[in-house]
Amino acid sequence: MKKLSVIAFGGNALLRGDQIGTIEEQEKNVYETCQHLVPLLKSGYDLVIGHGNGPQVGNVLLQHEAGKRIYGLPTQPIDFCVAETQGSIGFMIEQQLRNVLAEHGMERNIVTLVTQVMVDKQDPAFKNPTKPVGPFYSSEEVEELKSLHPDWVFHEDPRKRGWRRVVASPRPLEIPNWQAVEKLAREGSIVITVGGGGIPAYVDEQGKMVGIDAVIDKDLASSLLANKIRADEFCILTDVPNAYINFHKPGEMKLERVTVEEMKKHLADGQFAKGSMAPKVEACLEFVDNGGKEAIITQAEQLGVEGKGTVIGH
């Protein structure tokens, strides 16, 4: 059986820190990232691709706010906006990957799936929302928004740029269409799914599926999917070649092949920044702890290069 790999594209694969997010910028970034998938495909891997959507969903929320202010159009909830960005980003990845494959004389079916991910409405994260979404507001705008949306929560930006709405980031529990993802991938299709961590949803008291305002960590969702489809490996692409201990400090050391036990100790010792490397490490550990063979944290440029990146296994 061919190897099956789940690869989570980091934000750098879509939008760089010094860019504003034009379609040309994003397509160029995606094209360059997809070029680095070719060695894996040539060596016979089946692939499933997950991706982030932070800047893009923020822009969509801004567009909705502007449409309401200028034209009186209704704004849409975050789950709807996540669905929008799953479609738009999936389109970019699919299109640029097709261009890359054509250049290399390769043919693969590529399928983009708009994917819901189930969460628990009683998850403690809903009592302590921390994930910033959307634009910055003045204190006056916040008061106006609170009058319209009494359940919304706002935090002041640490850099004093204004106030932002914050939402919960609950744990992903189930991916309704994972069987279809596995079937398509093992038949040779490249599947793009769980974009932005998935569209957050839960089952209400009447047994109906309902969307909810939240943002799911895309690495945790991709890790869950990798376990569900029994992937051989799970890879998180980021903007550094390895995970490090003492990062940017005296005694800095890159981690290459690391056991689960070693990585858990580094995590407990606070070696990985919260909101940055820590959730990536946690997602990798979950994959290996739940039956996965190995998880990798690396740059796109090092995909498929033996001995490169941080490899976590037993």
Closest by Cα among 248, 308, 239 to 280: 239
Tens of pLDDT, residue by residue over 213-267, are 999 999 999 999 999 999 999 999 998 999 999 999 999 999 999 999 999 999 9
* Catalytic annotation present for 280: yes
- pLDDT reported for residue 243: 97
* Catalytic annotation present for 146: no
- pLDDT reported for residue 1: 65
* Catalytic annotation present for 228: no
pLDDT at 131 over 90: no
**What's the rounded Cα separation, in Å, for the pair 45 and 38?**
10
Q: What is the pTM of this model?
A: 0.92
Catalytic option among 58, 195, 197, 280: 280
Residues 6+ apart with CB under 8 A from 145: 137, 152, 154, 165
pLDDT band per the 50, 70, 90 thresholds, residue 132: confident
Catalytic option among 10, 29, 131, 196: 131
pLDDT band per the 50, 70, 90 thresholds, residue 54: confident
**What's the rounded Cα separation, in Å, for the pair 192 and 222?**
11
Catalytic option among 218, 227, 242, 309: 218
